[in-house]
Amino acid sequence: MDGAVGAVAAVAAPPSSEPPQPLPDLDTEGFWQATARGELALCRCHDCLLWVQPPLERCPSCAGPTSFQPVSGIGRVFSFIVVRHPAVSGFEHELPMVVAIVELEEQVGLRLTSRIVGPLEEVEIGSRVVAELVALPGGDFHAPVFRPT
């Protein structure tokens, strides 16, 4: 009966010790194809040159076509947390870890949320960081992390 009224089944999978994996779709797969090549590339509008993250098939500003273009990977820490409670599977042995919103130099407001690697005490809002790509355990994906420079 619940299915008929639009509800979804409660999730009851067993806890996992592997980190969650991305599930790419037609709009996002270019990001993951780039990281597999060792490149950080983000969605950009051909017509007005706006960077668009998360990616879209068309530019939200001018509706122009988009494609994935390389970025420098250089940015600054916009905000950060120190994760100490193992709320998400796959990181139990990594704690404490720093997760930050990084604003990339290409565009005001162009941000990625990622782990910060290196000495935790060096992380502050405004810290300059640079991306590197790491293999994500438990699958075939590579993801960007950031290191203070």
Q: Which letter, b or e, does each residue of 41-50 get, where b requires 16 or more Cβ atoms within 10 Å of its Cβ?
A: bbbbbeeeeb
Residue 33 one-letter amino acid: Q
Contact 81, 99 (CB under 8 A): yes
- Does residue 118 touch other proteins according to CB under 8 A? no
- The partner in contact with residue 71, picked from Zn ion, other proteins, none with C-beta cut-offs of 5 to 8 angstroms by kind, is none
- Does residue 53 touch other proteins according to CB under 8 A? yes
Q: Which residue, among 104, 48, 52, 110, has the nearest Cα to 76 in the 3D structure? A: 104
- Does residue 9 touch other proteins according to CB under 8 A? yes
Site for other proteins, residues 70 to 109, rule: CB under 8 A = 78-85, 87-91, 97, 99, 101, 109
- By residue count, the chain amounts to 149
Q: How far is the CB of 47 from other proteins (least distance, A)?
A: 21
Structure tokens at 46: 């051909």
Q: How far is the CB of 69 from other proteins (least distance, A)?
A: 16
CA distance 149 to 129: 5
Question: Where do contacts with other proteins occur on this chain (CB under 8 A)?
Answer: 1-2, 4-16, 18-25, 28, 31, 53-54, 78-85, 87-91, 97, 99, 101, 109, 111-115, 125, 136, 141, 143, 145
